[in-house]
């Protein structure tokens, strides 16, 4: 009797093996690549590719300057951007850490599904040809004084191609796109602060203001660190922006919430 039961159970398990294999989820690198470049994951048109390259930037130049580092060869790193030190196991793999960008920068109300996470992970592993395990260094370049002085001597002619490489994707020709239209009449410090601090995360990492980064504020501009945009390049971009034709009166009024020229926010006090 026991032999019969064992044989019957083995037969049932044998029949279930194909079903179990079919139910096992696997990631698709091809689908992960589509997700990486898809501007429809969030609500504002941003994709992973807007801020991160998926190729070796040192060997291949597509003419763009992105705020984030390339994710080529990055799938084996020990830690991921956005990892909470209070929850060391919050992001066990690079695709899981993408939830930070998806929710905050891409302004998505929903997280990636389990299948989408596996697809994205499969793609990021597929482009990891020479695995690098050391955590990537970040070089925030905010001004601890909050004054952002010395940004008014740029070259607008040199700034034009730099603007197209770093800013045009979100602010086409300085107008509204993924991001808002850029005012032309602010002090150089206004633009320098925006670029170096972004939505506030750059200020936090620089040590200017630990509370500057507020995910609930609705802002989603990434900051450009010193390793992504040099001071010289920043000054040239600012000079180019300030040389652009003025915004239409109705656009400027909407940006400021009132008629007239909006003023730059006051400089932050120097931390004590």
Please state, in angstroms and rounded to a whole number, the distance separating the CA atoms of residues 28 and 31.
5
Angstrom distance (rounded) from CA 236 to CA 159: 4
Residue 272 lies in a domain: no
Can you give the CATH number for the domain in which 242 is found? 1.10.760.10
Asked if residue 147 belongs to a domain, the reply is no
pLDDT digits (tens, 9 = 90+) for 157-208: 999 999 999 999 999 999 999 999 999 999 999 999 999 999 999 999 999 9
Q: Is residue 21 situated within a structural domain? A: no
Tell me, what's the pLDDT at 104? 86
pLDDT at position 250 is 56
Farthest-apart Cα atoms in the chain, separation: 92
Average pLDDT, the chain: 84
Give this prediction's pTM: 0.81
pLDDT score for 136: 81
Which range has the top average pLDDT, 69-78, 90-99, 221-230, 249-258? 221-230
Instruction: Select the highest-mean-pLDDT range: 2-6, 21-25, 49-53, 84-88.
Output: 49-53
User: How many domains does the chain fold into?
Assistant: 2
Residue 272's contacts (CB-CB under 8 Å, 6 or more residues apart) are: none
Helix (H, G, I), strand (E, B) or coil at 8: helix
Q: Are residues 251 and 160 in the same domain?
A: yes
**DSSP class of residue 270?**
P
Is residue 267 over pLDDT 80?
no
pLDDT of 268 reads 44
Q: How far apart are CA 102 and CA 112, in angstroms?
A: 8
Are residues 98 and 167 both part of a single domain? no
Higher pLDDT, 85 or 64: 64
Residues 196 and 105 reside in one and the same domain? no
24 lies in a domain?
A: no
CA dist 47 to 53, 60, 161, 208, Å?
A: 11, 20, 22, 29
**What pLDDT score was predicted for residue 20?**
46
State whether 48 and 117 are in the same domain. yes
Closest residue by Cα to residue 205 from 146, 267, 271, 142 = 142
In-domain check, residue 266: no
Average pLDDT over residues 129-134: 86
Q: Which pLDDT belongs to residue 256?
A: 46
Mean pLDDT of all residues in 67-95: 77
Asked if residue 145 belongs to a domain, the reply is no
One domain, residues 119 and 35: yes
State how far the alpha carbon of 129 is from the alpha carbons of 50, 125, 132, in Å.
22, 8, 9
User: Which residue range(s) make up the domain with 93?
Assistant: 29-126
């Amino acid at each position: 009797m026991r032999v019969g039961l064992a044989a019957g159970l083995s037969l049932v398990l044998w029949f279930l093996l194909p079903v179990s294999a079919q139910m096992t989820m696997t990631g698709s690198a091809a689908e992960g690549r589509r997700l990486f470049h898809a501007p429809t994951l969030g609500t504002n048109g941003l994709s992973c590719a807007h801020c991160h390259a998926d190729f070796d930037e040192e060997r291949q130049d597509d003419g763009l300057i992105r705020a984030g580092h390339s994710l080529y060869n990055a799938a084996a790193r020990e830690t991921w951007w956005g990892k909470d030190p209070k929850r060391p196991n919050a992001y066990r793999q690079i695709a899981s850490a993408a939830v930070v960008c998806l929710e905050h920068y891409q302004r998505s109300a929903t997280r990636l599904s389990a299948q989408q996470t596996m697809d994205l992970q499969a793609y990021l592993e597929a482009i990891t040809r020479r695995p690098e395990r050391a955590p990537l260094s970040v070089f925030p370049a905010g001004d601890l004084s909050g004054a952002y002085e010395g940004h008014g001597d740029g070259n607008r002619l040199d700034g034009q191609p730099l603007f197209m490489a770093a800013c045009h994707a979100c602010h086409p020709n300085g107008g509204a796109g993924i991001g808002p239209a850029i005012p032309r009449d602010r002090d150089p410090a206004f633009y320098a602060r925006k670029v170096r601090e972004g939505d506030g995360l750059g200020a936090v990492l620089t040590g200017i203001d630990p509370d500057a980064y507020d995910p609930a504020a609705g802002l989603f501009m990434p900051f450009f660190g010193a390793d992504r945009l040099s001071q010289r390049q920043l000054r040239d971009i600012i000079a180019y922006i300030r040389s652009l034709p003025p915004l239409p009166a109705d656009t400027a009024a909407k940006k400021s919430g009132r008629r007239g020229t909006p003023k730059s926010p006051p400089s932050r006090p120097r931390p004590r």
